[in-house]
């Protein structure tokens, strides 16, 4: 119990930026990331963060994609416009079935997920870049076209 209280106090302090400037130092030292924490749950002193990675989609575009994933690829989560682990697991199932995704269905948007997505986008959504596993501007623009077409 004491460990949970200390952990929660530390998390709250860091979030507020009050623990000896930890928030400021971390912000200056850390590079910008594409993923961001969506929710955190505390159970038995452990904190788990669920990542959201919309790859440049607006909430409305991500909701369109989630509806499509729900209809065709087994997505069972909320239609909330936040592409988190469950959204990406459904996307990975789609990519595995049709676009040679050959990694774990884990909901992590890693290079193999991006490569399979790029294969789909190249075939159907005007992506002209390399199949390199990097979600650059061309990949994001084509992903946006995908979300608006489904």
pLDDT exceeds cutoff 90 at 10: no
Give the pLDDT mean for 58-77: 94
- Residues 11-31 have a mean pLDDT of 43
Report which of 130, 71, 37 is spatially closest to residue 117, judged by C-alpha positions: 130
**73 by DSSP, 3-state: which?**
coil
The conformational region for residue 98 under phi > 0 = left, psi -120 to 50 = alpha, else beta, is alpha
What pLDDT does residue 50 have? 55
Of 42 and 115, more confident: 115
Asked if residue 19 has pLDDT above 50, the reply is no
Whole-angstrom Cα distance, residue 125 to residue 119?
Answer: 10
More confident residue, 42 or 122: 122
Residues 70-92, mean pLDDT to the nearest whole number: 93
Q: What percent of the chain has pLDDT over 90?
A: 53
- pLDDT above 60 for 24: no
């Amino acid at each position: 119990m004491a460990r949970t209280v200390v952990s929660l106090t530390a998390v709250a302090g860091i979030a507020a930026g009050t623990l000896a400037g930890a928030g400021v130092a971390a912000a200056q030292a850390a590079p910008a990331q594409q993923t961001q924490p969506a929710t955190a749950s505390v159970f038995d002193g452990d904190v788990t963060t669920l990542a959201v990675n919309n790859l440049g989609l607006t909430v409305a575009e991500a909701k369109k994609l989630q509806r499509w994933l729900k209809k065709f690829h087994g997505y069972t989560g909320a239609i909330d416009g936040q592409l988190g682990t469950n959204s990406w697991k459904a996307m990975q199932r789609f990519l595995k079935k049709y676009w040679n995704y050959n990694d774990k269905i884990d909901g992590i948007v890693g290079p193999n997920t991006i490569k399979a997505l790029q294969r789909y986008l190249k075939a159907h959504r005007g992506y002209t870049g390399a199949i390199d596993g990097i979600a650059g501007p061309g990949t994001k623009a084509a992903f946006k076209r995908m979300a608006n077409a489904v």
